[in-house]
């Protein structure tokens, strides 16, 4: 089948990261994808195999499927094939020119219309189960009368699941359940990929106190800038943390970083899922929202995670939802929690398998 996937970039490792992983997983299973992106520049370091040029065009050919990366506003021509599935990632809606083109085709179509899917944000909140796979009828515009379907990723078998490529599933099945040592027993490596947490300097002092020979591994971007600012706030007499600033990493390189670190600070959606697959202790920096909606969303996730009290307390302080001091890091309990969650997830159908099943039923 041919898929049109639409992505508007807000966070490089978030929406674009998810859309590329989705496209690559589909192509590895014999599907063809056109990925429409309004800013594909980050793909030059995130996914160099796509060979994206300065104008935003790129292509990756796999053994059984291919991905064409296209600029958001690139027009379609009579040579372009009609797709079988449309995916609006994170509710971004279809490009205007695509709607015009699709509407003109719809008037002359004699074959089945494409399955139209709104791939929603990831959440552990209860509304996800209620809303997953619900239809939404288009009431106006050139595509009036069409139906789009809500598809919700999630953490249980009543949702659309998570992206977990076959090779990642194989790694999880093959990897032993390794127990973490106490923080004080080893030179700890911590990866940092975050926004601007107010508790960052507090965490820097805590880890320096708890772990001898500790090193921060800083992913490029906002987190690295926040680390510099927190470093400047440390008292002159305080122990200075060891750190290394990493270059922009490919998705494979970032996944490897999470697997080889002892503690991972992650942010947004894509890296949260990868932290779960890595099976190491992690702290999630949820995307902050002005209306405070991130608070219930974070607590719903911590409930699903079955987070021990110290991990919940750390999350709430890290995300600015509590003024309590950061608790000591219990690496053994936190990693055991992650691995138990990963084990629960590994028994569920992954997102791409569910999507393939869903669109086949709707065609």
> What amino acid positions are annotated as catalytic residues?
15, 269
Distance CA 311, CA 329 (A): 8
Residues near 95 by beta carbon (within 8 Å), at least 6 away in sequence: 6, 36, 72, 73
Among residues 43, 32, 36, 157, the alpha carbon closest in space to that of 87 is found at 36
Helices (H), 139-293: 166-174, 200-210, 222-233, 251-260, 270-278
Helices (H), 35-125: 43-46, 96-108
Distance CA 195, CA 5 (A): 27
Cβ-contact 2, 83 below 8 angstroms: yes
| 26 C-beta neighbours (distance < 10 Å), count | 24
* Paired strand residues for 264: 191, 282
Among residues 89, 255, 49, the alpha carbon closest in space to that of 164 is found at 255
| 219 C-beta neighbours (distance < 10 Å), count | 24
CA triple 6-42-356, angle to 5 deg: 35
Cβ-contact 76, 83 below 8 angstroms: no
Distance CA 270, CA 42 (A): 15
Distance CA 300, CA 174 (A): 30
Q: Which long-range contacts (CB under 8 A, 24 or more apart) does 72-77 make?
A: 72/6, 72/8, 72/36, 72/37, 72/38, 73/97, 74/36, 75/101, 76/101
């996937």: which residue's tokens?
A: 5
Distance CA 291, CA 302 (A): 20
Tokens of 282: 């992690």
Tokens of 3: 């898929």
């Amino acid at each position: 089948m041919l898929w049109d996937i639409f992505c508007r970039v807000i966070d490089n490792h978030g929406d674009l990261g998810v859309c590329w992983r989705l496209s690559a997983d589909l192509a590895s299973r014999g599907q063809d994808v056109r990925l429409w992106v309004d800013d594909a520049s980050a793909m030059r370091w995130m996914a160099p195999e796509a060979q994206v040029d300065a104008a935003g065009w790129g292509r990756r050919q796999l053994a059984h499927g291919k991905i064409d990366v296209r600029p958001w506003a690139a027009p379609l021509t009579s040579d372009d094939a009609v797709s079988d599935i449309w995916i609006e990632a994170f509710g971004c809606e279809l490009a205007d020119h695509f709607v015009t083109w699709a509407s003109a085709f719809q008037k002359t179509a004699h074959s089945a219309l494409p399955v139209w899917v709104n791939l929603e944000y990831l959440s552990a909140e209860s509304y996800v189960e209620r809303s997953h796979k619900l239809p939404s009828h288009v009431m106006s515009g050139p595509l009036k009368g069409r139906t789009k379907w809500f598809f919700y990723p999630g953490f249980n078998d009543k949702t659309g699941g998570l992206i977990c490529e076959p090779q990642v599933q194989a790694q999880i099945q093959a990897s032993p359940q390794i127990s973490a040592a106490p923080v004080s027993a080893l030179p700890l490596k911590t990866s940092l990929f975050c926004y601007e947490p107010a508790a960052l300097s507090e965490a820097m002092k805590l880890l320096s106190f708890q772990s001898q020979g500790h090193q921060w591994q800083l992913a490029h971007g906002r987190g690295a800038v926040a680390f510099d600012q927190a470093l400047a706030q440390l008292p002159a007499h305080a122990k200075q943390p060891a750190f290394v600033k990493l270059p922009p990493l490919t998705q494979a390189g970032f996944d490897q970083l999470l697997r080889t670190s002892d503690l991972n600070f992650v942010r947004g959606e894509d890296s949260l899922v990868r932290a779960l697959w890595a099976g190491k202790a992690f702290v999630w920096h949820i995307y902050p929202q002005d209306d405070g909606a991130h608070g219930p969303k974070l607590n719903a996730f911590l409930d699903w995670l079955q987070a021990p009290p110290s991990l919940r307390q750390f999350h709430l302080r890290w995300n600015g939802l509590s003024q309590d001091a950061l608790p000591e890091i219990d690496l053994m309990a936190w990693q055991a929690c992650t691995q138990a969650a990963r084990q629960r997830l590994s028994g569920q159908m992954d997102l791409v398998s569910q999507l393939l099943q869903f669109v086949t039923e709707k065609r």
